[in-house]
Each structure stands twice: as C-alpha cells, then as structure tokens.
Amino acid sequence: MLPDDYDWLSQLRPNHALTALYTGKHFLMYGFIGLFILILCIIIVRYCLCRYKRYQRQQKILQQINRAEQIYLKNNQLMSLIESYNMMMKRTLREYYPEINVASMSGIQWLSCLDKTGKTTDFLSGPGFILGMHYQADSLYQTKPALLQTVVRKWVRQVCDG
C-alpha cells in the first residue's frame, strides 16, 4: 500500500538517464548519423535506378540485334544484316556518345570509332572489319555471321555498361 503523501507526479517525470542521451551533443550526433544514413539511401536508390535504365536500354538494343538476325536467317542476306548492325550501332553511339558525329563516318574511321568506344580491337583487326568494309566483295564472302554477332553483342554490352 502506498502512503498518503506519495508523490504521483514523480512518476510522470522523465527518466534522467534516458533524457541525457537525447540532449546536447548526443542528440546532434544522432541527427548527423540519421542524415548520413538518409543521404546514403538516396545515393543507393539513384544508382540502382540509373543501372536499371541502362539495363533497359541495353536490352532494347539487344532486341534490335535479335530482330536483325532473324531477318538474316529468313532471307540469308548478309548485306542486310551488316547494314542493320551499322544503323543500330550508330544509333547507340548517338545515344551514349552525343559528342561524336557518327552520321558521316565510314570505313576505317568508323571501325576505329567502334574500337575506341567498345575498348576492343575486334573491328579494325577482327571479325568486325566487315562492318566498315562491306563494299569489298571478297571480304563479304569470308565473313562468318556468328563471329560478327558475337563481336557486336560484346560491343553493345561494353558501350551500355560504360
């Protein structure tokens, strides 16, 4: 049983040990930690959204490659496949590297641009050579479409991943 002169208001007072944590320097420190965590979360979400958008663009380009390959398999015309690859790669470069004027590029200049942006040597000295020199009939017959497809897909992934 409680005495008659028991102080009921003392039960409503805050606990001094807990209030010391949320006052002064400690409260400021917890505020900075919370702000830091919030900023970190925003940065992570933004990074994930950017990566997702890049992934979507890359998938769109790879679907265009698939459509071009299906048309090639149906018609068996290597020239149409090469032209589709060139147009698709020029569109990709305009999107990812707007500072490069790709519309007028052809031949060795086009191949060196592809090598530079894709960080590869598959175009100037590999199976991708046909993309810049497709007007040479002898190189057209030596081309293996499967190797060309591999080179183009690798280039797209490299350019899209940046």
Is the pLDDT at 11 greater than 70, yes or no? no
- Summarised one tens digit per residue, pLDDT across range 80-92 is 888 888 888 888 8
d(CA 65, CA 58): 11
- What is the pLDDT at residue 130? 78
pLDDT of 138 = 52
Calculate mean pLDDT across residues 99-116: 84
Name residues whose C-beta falls within 8 Å of residue 49's C-beta, 6 or more positions apart in sequence.
none
CA nearest to 129, candidates 149, 108, 150: 108
Q: Is the pLDDT of residue 4 over 80?
A: no
Between 93 and 8, the more confident residue is: 93
Gap between the Cα atoms of 116 and 67, Å rounded: 26
Both structure tokens of 131:
């993309």
Q: Given pLDDT bands bounded at 50, 70 and 90, which one contains residue 43? A: very high
**pLDDT tens, position by position, 108-150:** 888 888 888 888 888 888 777 777 776 664 555 556 777 888 8
48-78 pLDDT, tens digit per residue, is: 998 898 888 888 888 888 888 888 878 877 7
79 near 103, Cβ under 8 Å? no
| pLDDT tops 70 at residue 98 | yes
Chain position carrying tokens 């048309």: 71
